[in-house]
Amino acid sequence: MLSGKQLFLRFLGQTSPAPLMVEIDRAEGVFMYGPHGEKYLDLISGVSVSNVGHNHPQVTEAVRRQAESYTHLMVYGELILGPQVSYARKLASVLPHGLDNCYFVNSGSEAVEGAMKLAKRFTGRTKIISFRNSYHGSTHGAISLQGSEIYRNAFRPLLPDTFQIGFNDENALDIIDSRTACVIAEPIQGEAGIVLPAEGFLDKLRKRCSETGALLVFDEVQTGFGRTGYMFASQRYNVTPDIIILAKALGGGMPLGAFVSSRDIMQSLSDRPVLGHITTFGGHPVSCAAGEAALQVIVGENLAGAAIHKAGLFRERLSHRLISGIRGEGLLMAIELKSRDHVRYAVANAPRFGLITDFFLFCENAIRVAPPLIISEDEITLACNLLHSLLDDTMKNIEQA
């Protein structure tokens, strides 16, 4: 009989030759549990998804209630569905002023596609600018924006008229001109290894976009919903984009994406010709119900504000010879280790120490620490102790090799 691991490798398409390969039976709060009593503390939240933790009772109840009322009824945008309307209205109340018209889709990549199409339609222009080491998703359009030649080259030809410039390179902003439909930026770069914007950089980017009539698009797929200590990183830097892209924590653990703008901008997608973007499952009622329940928890328990204090506890308690630095904002952190080999070993062996962590796509020398925002003080102490044991083991094994 094939084991769970053998069946996983045999019947599921693989994303890499070295998956984490940890079997999970159930999850609750900050913990995941294996079939034989194994317990893992989740340091990555499914990459910024599980901000309210796993199996949160309010989210589970919202899913159950909505599934009992109805699931899919009709393609997005035709019927008036309570969970969509209610969540869009709630989102408008927490998003930066002016971002109050929400187009629901299924994922981050699809929201990126929608935002690019919206910017092209609204401006009548085609040029799109993004940043080196950015990650915006895996569809062809999103890969065209991606700031890594290795991943882009494998799939050429890509979307024409797309250009990448250096994040934090003020001198490069001149490339934004009257032909530019939009500039798409992560206000804090996630897969680059949590790279913060330099002082004033986002202001200058905003100013250049306004001067040239290019739309500014912030991809807050990883940074949204309290992760950085603010509901959205745009608010941390006090820079408001014309379009914001949301996914991951937006669905409270269910699949959901959205691009949000003013109503004036959004209207250009539904006219001349109609159906500028269409989706069957976008804004699935169960996902919207789950997302709204999760947002109520984030707001009600002030998880954004708490993330700043909790990040401080991590920084205080994490101290190890292998750690050369901690980058980040709130509970979106990159722990810098000595080398790529240390990172590879630590990520692969973390489950043996009861931890789940991960590396970054475009940063070889750091591991991720971005736990659910509901993590308690005792759980932070536990996480730091487990990390220290893992790093002791990493040091012993890598330095011997």
Q: How far is the CB of 124 from ligand PMP (least distance, A)?
A: 26
Q: How far is the CB of 65 from ligand PMP (least distance, A)?
A: 25
- Binding part of the chain for ligand PMP, among 34-42, 130-138, 231-239, 313-321 by CB under 6 A, reads 130-138
- How far is Cα of residue 47 from the mean position of the Cα atoms in its chain? 6
What is the contact mask toward ligand PMP in residues 183 to 202, using x (rule: CB under 6 A)? ---x---x------------
Give the one residue of 42, 113, 219, 242 binding ligand PMP; rule: CB under 6 A: 219
β-bridge partners, 189: 195
Helices (H) and strands (E) in the chain, counts: 14, 15
Structure tokens at 281: 């499952």
* Closer of 215 and 380 to ligand PMP (Cβ): 215
Residue closest to 366 by CA, chosen among 386, 385, 343: 343
What is the contact mask toward ligand PMP in residues 133 to 152, using x (rule: CB under 6 A)? --xxx---------------
Number of residues that bind ligand PMP (CB under 6 A): 14
Rounded to 5 degrees, φ, ψ at 178 are -75, 0
Please, are residues 327 and 333 in contact by the beta-carbon 8 Å criterion?
yes
* Closer of 53 and 108 to ligand PMP (Cβ): 108
Beta strands in 191-284 (DSSP E): 215-219, 243-246, 257-261
Using CB positions, name the residue nearest to ligand PMP. 108
Q: How far is the CB of 327 from ligand PMP (least distance, A)?
A: 16
* Closer of 227 and 342 to ligand PMP (Cβ): 227
Residue 157: asked if its preceding bond is cis (omega within 30°), the reply is yes
Q: How far is the CB of 186 from ligand PMP (least distance, A)?
A: 5
Q: How far is the CB of 209 from ligand PMP (least distance, A)?
A: 19
* Closer of 188 and 322 to ligand PMP (Cβ): 188
Please, are residues 257 and 104 in contact by the beta-carbon 8 Å criterion?
yes
Q: Is 279 in the site for ligand PMP (CB under 6 A)?
A: no
Q: How far is the CB of 221 from ligand PMP (least distance, A)?
A: 4
Sheet holding 101-105, edge to edge: 101-105, 257-261, 243-246, 215-219, 180-185, 127-131, 162-165
66 contacts: CB under 8 Å, gap ≥ 6:
83, 285, 286, 288, 289, 290
Q: Is 231 in the site for ligand PMP (CB under 6 A)?
A: no
Interface positions, 86-125, toward ligand PMP (CB under 6 A): 107-109, 112
DSSP per-residue letters across 145-211: H-S-HHHHHTT-S--SSEEEE-TT-GGGGGG--TTEEEEEE-SSBTTTTSBPPPTTHHHHHHHHHHH
Give the one residue of 8, 33, 47, 317 binding ligand PMP; rule: CB under 6 A: 47
Q: How far is the CB of 245 from ligand PMP (least distance, A)?
A: 7
Q: Is 328 in the site for ligand PMP (CB under 6 A)?
A: no
Q: Is 222 in the site for ligand PMP (CB under 6 A)?
A: yes
Is the sign of the CA dihedral 138, 20, 188, 92 positive or negative? positive
Q: Is 247 in the site for ligand PMP (CB under 6 A)?
A: yes
Neighbours of 263 (CB within 10 A): 9
Q: How far is the CB of 160 from ligand PMP (least distance, A)?
A: 21
* Closer of 250 and 322 to ligand PMP (Cβ): 250
DSSP 249: G
Question: Rounded CA gap, 13 and 52, in Å?
Answer: 29
Sites of contact with ligand PMP (CB under 6 A):
47, 107-109, 112, 135-137, 186, 190, 219, 221-222, 247
